[in-house]
C-alpha cells in the first residue's frame, strides 16, 4: 500500500485535484442500461455536481422500482491518490456500517427464526460477561434498535490491538443511559451482536456470513478482509496512523484493530451484489419467490418500528426508519421506507410498497476525510422519487 508523508500527501493531492479538475466529469453507464431515460437527468446532475465540488471523488449508484433496476450511474474517480483512477461499475467499496444491516442483523434474526434466541432475552444469557457494570437488563432488541444506553464506541484513546481486547472493552463498557431511555447509535451494540452470532453458530462472523447469507444470495464479490490481489478494484479510503493509504483494509478503526471482522463494520461489496441483495430482500418481504434467507414476516419485523414504546426515534431491528440519520429517505419517499448508511459514504434506502430502492456507493472519505454526501443522499432520493412518479 502507498506510504506518503503528510507533505508528500498534500503535494500529491494538489496535483491530483488539479488533474481531475481539468477533466470533464462523465457519466458512465453499463451497456445494459444505456437506453435514454431523461427522468433521471436531475439525479445525474446531482452526482456530477457533488464530484465537481469535491464532496466525493466519485460514486456508483442505482435506482430500482417494482423489483427492477431502472437507472444506473457511475461518476468521477475511485482514487485520487497516489494517481487518479476512474470509477467503474465493478468497483468494490468498504461498506462500513451497512455491515450492521446486511450481515449482523439478519444473522441474529436467523437464530430468532430457529428459536435459538428471543428478542427480549437479556444479552448476558448468551454472553455472561456482558452483565458487568450494570448491563444485565440490556436485551437483544435494545442492541438492535440502539436503545441500549451504551456509548457510541469502545475506547480508542489508547493503543490496543486484537479481538480479545475489543471483546473485553465491549463486555466491560458502562452504560451512559438506562436501557430503553434514549436512542444512541452505538457500534458496541453490533460488536456484541456479532459475538452472539459467533457464540450460537460456533463460527467466526465472516465465515457464518459467507455460509448463511452471502452464498444463499449468490453474492460473489461481497466479503470481509478482501484478498490483497483485489486491491486495484477497491476504492481507497483514508490514510491510517502510519500514513499508509487504506485500500482493501477496513476504514473503521475499531474493526481494523480487531483484525478486519466485526459486527458493526468490515464488509466490502459492489453495486451488482447490492442490487441482488436489495431486490431479494424486497421480494421476500413482499412474499414473492426470493433467495433471501429470512421469512417475509421476519423482514417486516426488522423494517418496522421496534424501539421502546413512546419513543420518537423510530428504529427497526437494525434498519433506520425515522431518526436524525434518516436523511437518505429524501422528502418524497413514505414514512414506511427504511434504510441505513455507512461512514465511508455508502447508503441503501428501500420502499417496501413498490419494491423501490436507492443505492449510493461512494468513498467520500478519500483521501483526507473531508468529503460529505449527506445532502447528496437526501437530494438524490428526492429526485429519484420524483422521477419514478413520472412513470
* Alpha-carbon distances, residue 89 vs 28, 230, 270, 308 (angstroms): 8, 15, 8, 41
- The pLDDT of residue 37 is 78
**Gap between the Cα atoms of 288 and 171, Å rounded:** 40
- Going by C-alpha positions, the residue among 177, 199, 185 that lies closest to residue 153 is 185
Strands of the sheet containing 267-270, edge to edge, are 92-94, 267-270, 223-224
Other beta carbons within 10 Å of 312? 8
Q: Look at the alpha carbons of 211, 298, 145, 278 in this order and tell me if their dihedral is positive or negative.
A: positive
**Gap between the Cα atoms of 67 and 295, Å rounded:** 18
Q: Which residue has the cell 441474529?
A: 108
Torsion angle of alpha carbons 41, 42, 44, 47, nearest 10°?
170
Which helix H or strand E contains 302, and what residues bound it?
helix 296-302
Q: Which residue has the cell 437527468?
A: 41
Give the gyration radius of the chain's Cα atoms.
20
**Gap between the Cα atoms of 250 and 54, Å rounded:** 22
* Count of positions (residues) in the chain: 391
Give the DSSP letter string of 29-43. Answer: --GGG-S--GGGHHH
**Gap between the Cα atoms of 94 and 235, Å rounded:** 8
Phi, psi values for residue 361, rounded to 5° = -120, 120
- The pLDDT of residue 16 is 52
Q: Which residues of the chain have pLDDT under 50?
A: 1, 5-8, 11, 15, 18-19, 21-35
Q: Which residues contact 227 (CB under 8 A, 6 or more apart)?
A: none
- The pLDDT of residue 7 is 40
**Gap between the Cα atoms of 25 and 98, Å rounded:** 27
- The pLDDT of residue 209 is 98
pTM for the model:
0.93
**Gap between the Cα atoms of 11 and 332, Å rounded:** 43
Which helix H or strand E contains 357, and what residues bound it?
strand 356-362
pLDDT digits (tens, 9 = 90+) for 209-265: 999 999 999 999 999 999 999 999 999 999 998 999 999 999 999 999 999 999 999
Torsion angle of alpha carbons 319, 99, 376, 320, nearest 10°?
10
- Going by C-alpha positions, the residue among 65, 32, 22, 105 that lies closest to residue 303 is 105
Q: Looking at residue 103, what DSSP letter applies?
A: I
Would you call 379 helix, strand, or coil by DSSP? helix
Cα angle 243, 244, 246 (rounded to 5 degrees) comes to 125
C-alpha cell at 384: 429519484
Other beta carbons within 10 Å of 247? 23
Q: Which residues contact 76 (CB under 8 A, 6 or more apart)?
A: 20, 25, 47, 51, 56, 57, 58, 59, 86, 87
Q: Which residues contact 277 (CB under 8 A, 6 or more apart)?
A: 102, 217, 219, 222
- The pLDDT of residue 4 is 52
Q: Are the C-beta atoms of 320 and 337 separated by less than 8 Å?
A: no
pLDDT digits (tens, 9 = 90+) for 55-90: 999 999 999 999 999 999 999 999 999 999 999 999
Per-chain mean pLDDT for the chain:
93
Amino acid at each position: 500500500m502507498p506510504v506518503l508523508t503528510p507533505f508528500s500527501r498534500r503535494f500529491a493531492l494538489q496535483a491530483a485535484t488539479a488533474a481531475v479538475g481539468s477533466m470533464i466529469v462523465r457519466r458512465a453507464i453499463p451497456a445494459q442500461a444505456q437506453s435514454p431515460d431523461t427522468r433521471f437527468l436531475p439525479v445525474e446532475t446531482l452526482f456530477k455536481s457533488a464530484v465537481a465540488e469535491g464532496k466525493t471523488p466519485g460514486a456508483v449508484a442505482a435506482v430500482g422500482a417494482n423489483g427492477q433496476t431502472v437507472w444506473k450511474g457511475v461518476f468521477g474517480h475511485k482514487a485520487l491518490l497516489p494517481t487518479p483512477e476512474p470509477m467503474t461499475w465493478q468497483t468494490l467499496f468498504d461498506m462500513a456500517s451497512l455491515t450492521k444491516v446486511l450481515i449482523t442483523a439478519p444473522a441474529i434474526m436467523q437464530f430468532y427464526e430457529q428459536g435459538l434466541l428471543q428478542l427480549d432475552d437479556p444479552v448476558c444469557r448468551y454472553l455472561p460477561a456482558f452483565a458487568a457494570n450494570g448491563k444485565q437488563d440490556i436485551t437483544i432488541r435494545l442492541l438492535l434498535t440502539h436503545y441500549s444506553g451504551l456509548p457510541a464506541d469502545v475506547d480508542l484513546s489508547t493503543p490496543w490491538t486484537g479481538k480479545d481486547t475489543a471483546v473485553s472493552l465491549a463486555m466491560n463498557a458502562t452504560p451512559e443511559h438506562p436501557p430503553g431511555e434514549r436512542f444512541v447509535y452505538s457500534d458496541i451494540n453490533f460488536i456484541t451482536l456479532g459475538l452472539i452470532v459467533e457464540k450460537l453458530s460456533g463460527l467466526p462472523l465472516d465465515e457464518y456470513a459467507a455460509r448463511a447469507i452471502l452464498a444463499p444470495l449468490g453474492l460473489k464479490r461481497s466479503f470481509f478482509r478482501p484478498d490483497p490481489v483485489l486491491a486495484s478494484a477497491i476504492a481507497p479510503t483514508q490514510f491510517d496512523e502510519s500514513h499508509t493509504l487504506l485500500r482493501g483494509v477496513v476504514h473503521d478503526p475499531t474493526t481494523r484493530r480487531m483484525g478486519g471482522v466485526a459486527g458493526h463494520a468490515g464488509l466490502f461489496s459492489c453495486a451488482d451484489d447490492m442490487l441482488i441483495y436489495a431486490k431479494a430482500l424486497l421480494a421476500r418481504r413482499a412474499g414473492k419467490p426470493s433467495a433471501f434467507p429470512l421469512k417475509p414476516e421476519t423482514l417486516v419485523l426488522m423494517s418496522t418500528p421496534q424501539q421502546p414504546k413512546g419513543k420518537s426515534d423510530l428504529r427497526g431491528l437494525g434498519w433506520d426508519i425515522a431518526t436524525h440519520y434518516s436523511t437518505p429517505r429524501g422528502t418524497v419517499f413514505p414514512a414506511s421506507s427504511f434504510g441505513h448508511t455507512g461512514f465511508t459514504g455508502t447508503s441503501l434506502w428501500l420502499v417496501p410498497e413498490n419494491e423501490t430502492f436507492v443505492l449510493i456507493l461512494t468513498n467520500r472519505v478519500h483521501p483526507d476525510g473531508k468529503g460529505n454526501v449527506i445532502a447528496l443522499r437526501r437530494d438524490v432520493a428526492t429526485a429519484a422519487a420524483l422521477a419514478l412518479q413520472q412513470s
